[in-house]
DNA sequence: TGACTGTACCTGTCTATACAACTTAGACTA
DNA sequence: TAGTCTAAGTTGTATAGACAGGTACAGTCA
């Protein structure tokens, strides 16, 4: 490999850039074939491992699809999915340089309602732990967190001090998080929730319902209410 | 390499799993050191390239942080950010097996208001293209898309048939998307929007504001209104 | 005709080795 | 003491070669 000319960036990046340029310019249309590893070896004079790295990274980035025994192809882009990050409210507030404080409204053992039993995949009237916590940003309520937890997976849940740890942090410390699902809604809050969040009448809520799996079963269901007038979720994305 | 025992999965995955288990169980705390490549070579009897692959993939996944010349460390997890995908409404509806239809309410040349001028970083009363489109799922309105576009980047915007292509698809075909930003709110819709979406009075909207960058400047601002009672955004996440 | 086989090609994984660049710590020097 | 040099350890990149397993296709055999 001669390194002197244009050795400004690693070889695998040059190969990647070449492929990306051809895809970006439309020269290689969606689902059309991109050069195989051995073709790249010939045309760029690199080793197969280097060509492999370029194609593997493009696959990881969702730019190409690779099929063993067949070849690599330009991926049908999904008109592109843009991820929006859902983070811990405590982190978010601290990153804004504000003071986070949590107040436990209730923390108790309850019996599963029909709806909850279905969510968790357990029998009706089974035991569940339930916490209701209000999170404040500079003493203004910003999130009401209503959380239901499977006792088997977090037996000490009722003893946790949620002023110090968030429930989410406690749960990932107790049991490894396998999977999470989010539902996002706009809804009018119940009177009880409206008061806890000090919201005006007729003000809508942003509601995030988060379900997390551990060991193949649902470990926790959280309903996170945000006051619509005060809270805004944001996310950035670079392709 | 002896392959006979437990050759159920590739070597680099076994190395990754070993590291993930130690991090997941809390044995290796955040910001503590994980074994270097050469230590993994010794303890697993694999080549350095295989150890490198395991660590590199963990870095790509945000599990570890690697510093050249220093070592690899367990990443401070942000209590973990959960991505929620924001997809094209047309794709979403089709994936549910339903019929998507779009109706153009208006498509015109306008003058930037103060707010829009600030969003785009252009002078007040500059020219902008504006489209208002209602997207139907099985003839029920599901999204109102109010979009502003910089004329310089999409000169033919006013001639596009939005019954066939979505505005988003058209824009990414015209100019490469560099970056996107999303804001998510719950809000009460204006009367005009409430009617177009056939919403009941006092029903809140889920509002997504998407800004996209092309060539370093804001190319498009879209306000996407969803009826709160009908629409739910969802996303899954596997660590 | 239909089923099977061989071949060519492709991706996936793995090894052994090499050199570069970077960081840290300790020894050495002015 | 303060600065410099060196050696060891680490990651980043790259090569050449190897084998396994998947796929497609042409050719062969019953």
| CA–CA distances in Å: residue A69 to residues A36, A37, B22, B53 | 11, 12, 36, 22
B76 close to A (CB below 8 A): no
Residues of B (77-96) whose Cβ lies below 8 Å from A: 78-88, 90-91
What is the C-alpha separation between A58 and A36, in angstroms, rounded? Answer: 13
Residues near B103 by beta carbon (within 8 Å), at least 6 away in sequence: B133, B134, B136, B163
Q: What is the pLDDT at residue A81?
A: 54
* Strand intervals (E) in chain B: 33-34, 64-67, 71-74, 82-86, 100-111, 127-137, 140-149, 179-187, 205-214, 217-227, 233-237
| pLDDT band, very low/low/confident/very high, at A223 (cuts 50, 70, 90) | very high
What is the C-alpha separation between A24 and B132, in angstroms, rounded? Answer: 29
Q: Strands A100-111, A127-137: parallel, antiparallel or unpaired by DSSP?
A: antiparallel
Helix (H, G, I), strand (E, B) or coil at B165: coil
How close B109 comes to chain A (CA, Å)?
26
Q: Per this entry, what is the length of chain B?
A: 239
Contact A202 B202 (CB under 8 A): yes
Q: What is the pLDDT at residue B174?
A: 80
Which residue on chain A is closest to B227 by alpha carbon?
A: A186
Q: What is the pLDDT at residue A40?
A: 96
| pLDDT band, very low/low/confident/very high, at A83 (cuts 50, 70, 90) | low
A186 close to B (CB below 8 A): yes
Residues of B (8-37) whose Cβ lies below 8 Å from A: 24-26
Our measurement of CA B35 to C1' C25, in angstroms, reads 20
Helix (H, G, I), strand (E, B) or coil at A180: strand
How close A49 comes to chain B (CA, Å)?
11
- The lowest-confidence range among A104-118, A170-184, A214-228, B56-70 is A170-184
Say yes or no: Cβ of A57 under 7 A from any atom of strand C: no
Q: What is the pLDDT at residue A217?
A: 76
Our measurement of CA B38 to C1' C21, in angstroms, reads 18
Tell me which of B47 and A4 has the higher pLDDT: B47
In a structure prediction context, what are the per-residue pLDDT tens digits for chain B, which is 239 residues long? 333 334 468 999 999 999 988 987 779 988 899 999 999 999 999 999 999 999 999 998 888 999 999 999 998 765 455 666 677 888 888 877 789 999 999 999 999 998 888 888 888 899 999 999 999 999 999 999 999 999 988 899 999 999 888 898 888 778 777 678 888 889 999 999 999 999 999 999 999 998 888 766 788 999 999 998 888 777 666 54
What is the C-alpha separation between A167 and A88, in angstroms, rounded? Answer: 10
Q: What is the pLDDT at residue B62?
A: 80
- Cβ atoms within 10 Å of B83's Cβ, excluding its own: 18
Q: What is the mean pLDDT of residues A19-30?
A: 86
Residues in B touching A181 (Cβ below 8 Å): 234-237
Nearest to B198 by CA among B128, B138, B115, B134: B134
Q: What is the pLDDT at residue B81?
A: 54
Q: Which nucleotides on chain D have any atom < 7 A from a protein Cβ? A: 8-18, 21-24
pLDDT tens digit sequence for A168-207: 888 877 776 767 888 888 999 999 999 999 999 999 999 9
């Amino acid at each position: 490999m001669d390194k002197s000319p244009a050795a400004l960036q690693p070889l695998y990046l040059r190969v990647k850039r070449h492929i990306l340029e051809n895809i970006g310019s439309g020269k290689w249309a969606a689902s059309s074939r991109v050069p195989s590893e051995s073709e790249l070896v010939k045309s760029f004079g690199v080793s197969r491992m280097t060509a492999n790295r370029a194609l593997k990274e493009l696959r990881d980035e969702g730019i190409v699809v690779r099929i063993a025994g067949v070849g690599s192809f330009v991926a049908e882009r999904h008109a592109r999915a843009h991820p929006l990050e859902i983070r811990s409210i405590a982190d978010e507030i601290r990153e804004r340089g504000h003071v986070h404080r949590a107040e436990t409204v209730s923390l108790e053992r309850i019996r599963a309602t029909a709806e909850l039993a279905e969510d968790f995949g357990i029998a009706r009237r089974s035991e569940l732990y339930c916490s209701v916590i209000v999170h404040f940003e500079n003493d203004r309520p910003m999130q009401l967190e209503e959380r239901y937890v499977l006792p088997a997976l977090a037996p000490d849940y009722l003893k946790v001090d949620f002023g110090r740890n968030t429930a989410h942090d406690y749960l990932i410390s107790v049991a490894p998080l396998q999977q999470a699902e989010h539902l996002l809604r706009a809804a009018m809050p119940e009177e009880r929730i409206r008061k806890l969040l000090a919201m005006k009448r007729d003000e809508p809520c942003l509601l995030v319902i988060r379900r997390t799996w551990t060991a193949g079963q649902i470990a926790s269901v959280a309903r996170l209410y945000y006051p619509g007038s005060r809270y805004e979720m944001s996310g950035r994305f670079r392709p």
